[in-house]
Structure 1
Amino acid sequence: MKFELHAKDPGTKARAGTLQLDHGPVETPIFMPVGTVGTVKGVHQRELVQDINPDIILGNTYHLYLRPQTDILEKAGGLHKFMNWDSNILTDSGGYQVYSLSANRKIKEEGVKFKSHIDGSYHVFTPENVMEIQRKIGADIIMAFDECTPYPCDYQYAKRSMHMTHRWLDRCMAHLEKTPLSYDYNQTFFPIVQGSTYKDLRRQSAEYIASVGAHGNAIGGLSVGEPAEEMYAMTEVVTEILPEDKPRYLMGVGTPINILENIALGIDMFDCVMPTRNGRNGMLFTAHGTINIKNKKWEDDFSPIDEMGITWVDTAYSKAYVRHLFSVNEMLGRQIATIHNLGFYLWLVREARKHILAGDFATWKNMMVKQMDKRL
């Protein structure tokens, strides 16, 4: 992987760059649609390419390991071929799913024993086998195995967890060196900064992660219930330490406003289920605020979903029609909302990039944050 910075915004820490990966370039800042189980939920790959065209999407190691299982993916030639996706993929390591399975897992130094949410069977993730699983899945960017701490989190627990994440990182890197590539393209490895919402722990973790010299770095353990101000404070601490010449990925974030504020703090990469999940529940994101399309106020509103026309669905369908689809529980309503939201998220980061390159990102960002912070 190569990462080239093209511009820095003079009024913030925002950056515009390009990651060169074997499945094509990724222009940053970038939002990665979440394709947990080998699909961006509710969106056909053709629509994903033609209407949204992300440079990279995300898959989930935990879910893909359980279904369809690693051996099936390996027989298919990797996740790219299995799902007919020619662009880039990033897989997270399962650390967040371990966090979310708090009632059904046991964390030890060796790794994590957990119970499948599907059939109750027991499995073990270690730094070593998670690297092997991600080799076989075949993502372009693979993540270190870490523990994602909850919020709020006791200081001593956060400290112990952070140090264990660092030890797990060392084991991940040692095992990767002994584990050959499964396919005919390279994989890039990102370690993950932890430390909960404690500035001293975040500094320690960022310094440790920076010291290993990976091609890119991630920040985990945020967007888990903490106030947005704490998220921004932790991000600022970490981006002051992580190397400028490497891409920075803030995991699991977030709202459109969260994304713009974190771009301003020097983050390059984002992922979140919000545009797809909220879309399926009738929440549409726009440049002028959010719309609950299920509200009665849209019943006879025949204006387009979004007059900006970012994707074809925005001007093809009226608010009244999409509200009708939701009211009769028609799947098409959820599909239209999902395509719109993903299109909006990708439009937002691409507009951010344009304004960083133009040198007026700070002014544009402040205007957009004010506009988007409304319920329509």
Structure 2
Amino acid sequence: MNGTWMFEFKIEAHSGLARASTLSLPHGVVETPVFMPVGTQGTVRALSPNDLKAAGASLVLANTYHLHVRPGEQVIAKLGGLHRFMAWDRPLLTDSGGFQVFSLEGFRRVSDDGVEFQSHVDGSRRTLTPERATEIQWTLGSDIAMAFDHVVPGGADEPTARDAMERTLRWLERCVKRHEELRRTEERRRGRRRNGGEDTSPPPTPYHPSSSNPPPHHQTLWPILQGGAHLELRLEGLRRMLELGSWTGLAVGGLSVGEPKPVMYGML
């Protein structure tokens, strides 16, 4: 597995509607269903990497928005990537930052281009677009990158939820395009090095060959489904999402944002 860096999902057993599966990622195998500890800023509070392993954690989440704001993805890349920065050699998933931007109500402005927001750290004005969110996650070098999405409150009416769902799908196409561009650029760069040619183009990320991490182009991109508490919207969004590509995984987003629990369970 460490030499091939493949992505594979395999169902191991069924029991009614429940199933036990394995998800093979560049940094290891994850047994699902899985509890994924949240290391928002590159660390899980009160637990060391060894503590996490002892507790059985196989996949940890880190957040694009927070790591971009502080210390910055370039700082992390210069230190060898997010895995080395965290001293974590198992799989990592990076959230796109969509939910965190949603939580900055009053400090952000959403448009089709992306989201303009005010940093909660230093007050600076920043812009996060689908392309930028993809680039940041690529630079971090996570196993799973999430597409940038538009999150709305759980009680959003149908027109508001539809607007977010449509925008999320448009943003998804842009994320896919940028992710593919980064992957192809990295492959060309590495191909020139293998063939002994001089590489005069700057790499898309400060990837360090001495790092034990897999190269960052061995990263999979997952879409996020939106649609609020409106089942028909979610089904429509899912159908259109599946028409856009063959995904190694996808996420159900926009839940646990204020809607009643029965509604959340109904959407799932």
TM-score, normalization: structure 1? Answer: 0.60
Please give the secondary structure, in 2, of the residue aligned with 1:30: coil
1:149-194 C-alpha deviation (Å, 9 max, x unpaired): 1121021111111101000000000111101355534111110110
Match of 1:364 in 2: none
Match of 1:37 in 2: 41
Match of 1:204 in 2: 236
Match of 2:192 in 1: none
Match of 1:176 in 2: 179
Match of 1:130 in 2: 133
**How far 1:53 sits from its partner (Å)?**
2.5
Match of 1:227 in 2: 260
**How far 1:213 sits from its partner (Å)?**
1.4
Please give the secondary structure, in 2, of the residue aligned with 1:215: coil
Alpha-carbon separation, structure 1, partners of 2:232 and 2:252: 15
1:330-373 C-alpha deviation (Å, 9 max, x unpaired): xxxxxxxxxxxxxxxxxxxxxxxxxxxxxxxxxxxxxxxxxxxx
Q: Does 1:22 align with 2:26?
A: yes
1:249-298 C-alpha deviation (Å, 9 max, x unpaired): xxxxxxxxxxxxxxxxxxxxxxxxxxxxxxxxxxxxxxxxxxxxxxxxxx
Task: Name the amino acid aligned to 1:84.
Answer: A
1:211-270 C-alpha deviation (Å, 9 max, x unpaired): 2211111000001121111111111xxxxxxxxxxxxxxxxxxxxxxxxxxxxxxxxxxx
Correspondent of 1:155 among 153, 158, 165: 158
Q: Does 1:194 align with 2:198?
A: no
Alpha-carbon separation, structure 2, partners of 1:201 and 1:218: 15
Correspondent of 1:217 among 228, 250, 254: 250
Q: Does 1:3 align with 2:9?
A: yes
1:131-154 C-alpha deviation (Å, 9 max, x unpaired): 100001111000000011112102
Task: Name the amino acid aligned to 1:161.
Answer: A
Task: Name the amino acid aligned to 1:217.
Answer: L
Summarize the alignment of residues 283-298 of structure 1 with structure 2, pairs less than 5 Å apart: none
Alpha-carbon separation, structure 1, partners of 2:240 and 2:97: 21
Structure 1 unaligned residues grouped into runs of 5+: 236-376
Question: For the Cα contact (< 8 Å) 2:154–2:256, is it kept in 1?
Answer: no
Summarize the alignment of residues 95-114 of structure 1 with structure 2, pairs less than 5 Å apart: 95-114=98-117
Please give the secondary structure, in 1, of the residue aligned with 2:251: strand
1:183-210 C-alpha deviation (Å, 9 max, x unpaired): 5341111101100000110111111222
Superposition RMSD on alpha carbons, in Å?
Answer: 1.1
Please give the secondary structure, in 2, of the residue aligned with 1:103: coil
Alpha-carbon separation, structure 2, partners of 1:93 and 1:169: 11
Alpha-carbon separation, structure 2, partners of 1:98 and 1:155: 21
Task: Name the amino acid aligned to 2:42.
Answer: G
Task: Name the amino acid aligned to 1:206.
Answer: L
Alpha-carbon separation, structure 2, partners of 1:130 and 1:103: 21
Match of 1:345 in 2: none
Q: Which has the higher contact order (CA 8 A, sep 6+)?
A: 1
Alpha-carbon separation, structure 1, partners of 2:242 and 2:20: 20
Question: For the Cα contact (< 8 Å) 2:61–2:93, is it kept in 1?
Answer: yes
